[in-house]
Structure 1
C-alpha cells in the first residue's frame, strides 16, 4: 500500500522580500498545513468507519448513501471523480463489489492512498486479486465485526502516515471504536450460545458473516443466492428447491436483502411468511441517521427478536 503524504505549500524565504509579503506567505502556508485530510469512501458504511477514526481531523465523503439503492448498479458521476481527485485517502470495498472506485481512481489521476477493505479484512483467500471478483468469496466483509476492526486499524495507520501531527487522536479514536465493536461481538457470542446450529436461509450473501457469527447455518441453495446477487434469473428448479426447504425445514429465519429485491425474492419472502418463518430485513448501506455501530446493534436486535419468536 502506498502511503500518501499531504501536499503542503511551503513558503521559502527569499532575500529582499518585504516583511509583509513574508507574513502573507507564512499565513497561507499555515492555513494549508492545517487543512483537514479528505477521505472518499465508496459507501456510507466505510464513510462511517472512517469518520469514527478521523474525528474532526478529516472530511469524509461517501459516494453511496441511499439505503434504497443497489450498490452493484451504481454509476459514478463527474462530481465523484472530482472528489476522488482531491482525496488523501480513498476507501473501497474491493472484491468486485465497487469496481467503479478503481475506475474513478484511474480516471482522476489521484495519488491518494487506496485502502481495499477486502484486502485488509484478512478474509480473502491468500494470493487473491482483491480488486476483482473472487470466485466463491463473500465480499460483504463489513458484516464481519472482527474484519471491520482490521479495516479500522488500516484507516488509523493511513491517516497517521498522512497526518503525523494527529497520530494520537487517530489512535484514541480507534481504541474507542474498537470498544464499541467489542460490544457487538459480545452480543453475537450471547446469541450464539442460545441459537448455534439453527438453520436460516438468505436471498443474498450480504449478511452471511453476521449470521455465521451468531451460529446459524445457511441452508440456501448456493445457486439461488448467487443468481440473485448477480442479477440473473433464478432457474425454476433452484427456486423450487428453496421453496421446498421453506416448507419442510425448521427454519429460524429468512435474511432478506431489501436493496436487491425482485419478483423472485418477493415470492420467497411471501412463502416464508406463509410458513411462519420470521423475515429479517438487511441492507448493504447505512439507513439514514445511523452509524456503523448503531446499525449493527439494530441488526443484532432484529436477529435476536426473530430467533426468540
Structure 2
C-alpha cells in the first residue's frame, strides 16, 4: 500500500474513532442535583450511564443563603434529569427551572416522592429521612428507565443495591437506641429532626429551632428560655448545624458544653465526599460516641 493510501486509511480510522467517542459521550444522561446528598444517590442509581452535577456540594455553604450563577443555568438547560429537595429548602431552584428550557427534562422533588412522610411542621430537611430518600431514589430509577430504557435492568439493580446500602443506617440507629434509650434532645436549628424522630427521642424547644432557621432571629424570650434549659441540663444532647456559623449558635454550643451536655455537629451536605449512607452512619456514630463520653464523665467509677 502506498504512503498516501496508508495515510488516508489512518485518517478514516481516526475519524471513525472520533465519531464513536463523541457518540458515547453524548449517550451519557446529564443529571443535576440541587444538593450533593441527592447527587450521591443519583450516582448510585445511575452508575456509569449518568453524569451528575451537584450544585450545592460544599459543607461550608449555608444552603439557605445559596445563590445561583450562569454556570448553574447552563447545567440546568443541558439536564435530562433534575433532582431537588423541595419544600422551600432549595427554593432558589424553582425560578431557575421555570426560566430554563427543559421541555424534555425530568424533574423529581423529594417533597413529592415522600409527601406522605413529611412531618406535620413541614420540616424541609427531608434528606435526613432514609425512608424519603428511598422513595426519591425509586422515582429516580423510574425516570432513568424512561430516559434510557436500554439500561433499565441496571437502574433496577442499582436501586436494589441502594436499598441494601441503607440497612447499616438503620443498624446504626438501633445501636444508638440500645446504648442510650429514652433521651430528650434539642437543636440549634431543626436540621436533624427526621433522624431524631427515627431514634424515637423527644425533640424539645421547636419554637427557637424554627425561629433560628433561614437566618431568622428568635425572640429574646425564646433565647432566654433555651439558654436556661441548657444551663439546667434539661436535655441530654444538643445537635447543631455545622453550616450555620453565627454568634447565637456559638453561644448555645458553649452554654451546653459548660453545662456538661454533649454536643454534636451535623450538616445538610455530606462532608468530605461521603455517599449518603456513609454520611448518615458517621453522624450517628458521632452521637453514640458523644453520649458514651458524657456517661463516662458523669460516672467515672463505672468505667474503670
Question: Normalising by structure 1, what TM-score?
Answer: 0.84
Contact 1:234-1:264 within 8 A present in 2 as well = no
Other-structure match for 2:5 = none
Contact 1:188-1:213 within 8 A present in 2 as well = yes
The match for 2:260 among 270, 276, 279 is 276
> Once the 2 structures are TM-superposed, how far is the Cα of residue 229 of structure 1 from its aligned partner?
0.3
- Structure 1 unmatched ranges of 5 or more: 1-19, 126-133
Other-structure match for 1:169 = 154
Q: CA RMSD in A?
A: 2.2
> Once the 2 structures are TM-superposed, how far is the Cα of residue 75 of structure 1 from its aligned partner?
0.8
The aligned runs of 1:38-49 (5 Å cut-off) are 38-49=30-41
The aligned runs of 1:1-309 (5 Å cut-off) are 31=23, 35-111=27-103, 112-123=105-116, 136-220=121-205, 222-309=206-293
Contact 1:92-1:117 within 8 A present in 2 as well = yes
Pair 141,249 (structure 1): closer, same or farther in 2 beyond 3 Å: same
Q: Give the Cα–Cα distance (whole angstroms) in 2 for the partners of residues 138 and 261 of structure 1.
A: 21
Contact 1:117-1:151 within 8 A present in 2 as well = yes
Pair 101,294 (structure 1): closer, same or farther in 2 beyond 3 Å: same
Q: Which of these two proteins has the greater Rg computed from alpha carbons?
A: 2
Once the two structures are overlaid, the 10-residue window that deviates more, 286-295 or 32-41, is 32-41
> Once the 2 structures are TM-superposed, how far is the Cα of residue 195 of structure 1 from its aligned partner?
2.9
Other-structure match for 1:9 = none
Question: Normalising by structure 2, what TM-score?
Answer: 0.85
> Once the 2 structures are TM-superposed, how far is the Cα of residue 307 of structure 1 from its aligned partner?
2.3
Once the two structures are overlaid, the 10-residue window that deviates more, 242-251 or 100-109, is 242-251
Q: Give the Cα–Cα distance (whole angstroms) in 2 for the partners of residues 293 and 186 of structure 1.
A: 11
Q: Secondary structure at the match of 2:166?
A: helix
Q: Give the Cα–Cα distance (whole angstroms) in 1 for the partners of residues 41 and 134 of structure 2.
A: 9
Detail structure 1 runs of 4+ shifted over 6 Å in the superposition: 27-30
Q: Secondary structure at the match of 2:54?
A: strand
- Structure 2 unmatched ranges of 5 or more: 1-11, 294-304
Other-structure match for 2:298 = none
> Once the 2 structures are TM-superposed, how far is the Cα of residue 28 of structure 1 from its aligned partner?
7.4
> Once the 2 structures are TM-superposed, how far is the Cα of residue 286 of structure 1 from its aligned partner?
1.3
> Once the 2 structures are TM-superposed, how far is the Cα of residue 288 of structure 1 from its aligned partner?
2.2
Q: Give the Cα–Cα distance (whole angstroms) in 2 for the partners of residues 289 and 74 of structure 1.
A: 19
